[in-house]
């Protein structure tokens, strides 16, 4: 079986949600990072967990897990790859330089509800689809609602009705940032984390929850407490 590494980027200096990676979250002292590492060490199909960071507090939290999980490795990332202005293409090119794994799953601490079952199921599905000719898998959420362009025209209505039922609209898919899985050659040769033949892994809205703004942080805390009370 080919090897697979989980790339977990966490940097200091978040501007939209201050200290979002490490501030207390839903009763978890080590915040979103501690929550995600608790999920990742429970996975069965990930061979290597790479915490890539320039944050001393992230390193401290990760070190507590590395003592009990040999799969976890802490990679100190250059500050030049941790800026708000850092080109994503440069970060993508960096990833295969820190692992020899055949496949890479790129995930984020800011998707706190998706856990070990979702990752293991997606990895199994990825390898199945890989054998069918797909070169990558991306987590998405199906959007079936009236979407307008700048001119106010509905862009996803493929019916002859001006107001069809929402379930009859053409489905569109939003990337939820839970996971990007690809062969390392997609990173090295295409300079991307999604290949030319991606499989869309449709996830429910709860597991797709992503923290991008301060209000997202508060909503995610309430959701996690509701589904996994202490």
pTM higher than 0.75 for the full model? yes
Per-residue pLDDT of the chain (230 residues; tens, 9 = 90+): 699 999 999 998 787 899 999 999 999 999 999 999 999 999 999 999 999 999 999 999 999 998 889 999 999 998 888 888 888 999 999 999 999 999 999 999 999 999 999 999 999 999 999 999 999 999 999 999 999 999 999 999 999 999 999 999 999 999 999 999 999 999 999 999 999 999 999 999 999 999 999 999 999 999 998 887 65
At 83 the pLDDT is 81
Structure confidence at residue 1 (pLDDT) = 66
Asked whether 60 and 29 are in contact (CB, 8 A), the reply is no
The domain of 87 spans 4-227
CATH number, residue 52: 3.90.550.10
Which residues, including other chains, have CB under 8 Å from residue 149's CB and lie 6 or more apart? 155
What does residue 117 show for φ and ψ, rounded to 5 degrees? Answer: -60, -40
Q: What pLDDT, on a 0 to 100 scale, did the predictor assign at position 174?
A: 96
What is the predicted pLDDT for the residue at 229?
A: 60
What does the CA dihedral 61, 73, 118, 20 come to, rounded to 10 degrees?
30
DSSP codes, 93-131: HHGGGS---SEEEE--TT--S--HHHHHHHHHHHHHHHT
Domain count, the chain: 1
């Amino acid at each position: 079986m080919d090897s697979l590494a989980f790339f977990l980027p966490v940097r200091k200096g978040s501007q939209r949600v201050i200290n979002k990676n490490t501030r207390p979250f839903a009763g978890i002292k080590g915040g979103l990072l501690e929550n995600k590492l608790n999920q990742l060490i429970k996975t069965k199909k990930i061979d290597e967990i790479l915490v890539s960071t320039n944050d001393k507090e992230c390193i401290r939290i990760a070190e507590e897990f590395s003592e009990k999980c040999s799969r976890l490795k802490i990679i100190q990332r250059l500050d030049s790859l941790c800026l708000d202005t850092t080109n994503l293409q440069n970060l993508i090119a960096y990833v295969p330089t820190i692992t020899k794994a055949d496949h890479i799953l790129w995930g984020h601490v800011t998707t706190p509800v998706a856990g070990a079952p979702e990752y293991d199921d997606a990895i199994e599905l990825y390898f199945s689809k890989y054998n069918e000719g797909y070169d990558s898998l991306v987590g998405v959420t199906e959007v079936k609602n009236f979407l307008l362009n700048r001119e106010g025209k509905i862009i996803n209505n493929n019916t002859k009705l001006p107001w069809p039922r929402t379930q009859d609209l053409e489905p569109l898919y939003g990337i939820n940032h839970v996971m990007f899985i690809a062969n390392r050659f997609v990173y090295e040769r295409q300079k991307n984390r999604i290949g030319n033949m991606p499989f869309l892994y449709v996830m429910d809205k709860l597991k797709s929850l992503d923290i991008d703004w301060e209000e997202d942080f508060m909503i995610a805390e309430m959701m996690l407490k509701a589904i996994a009370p202490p």
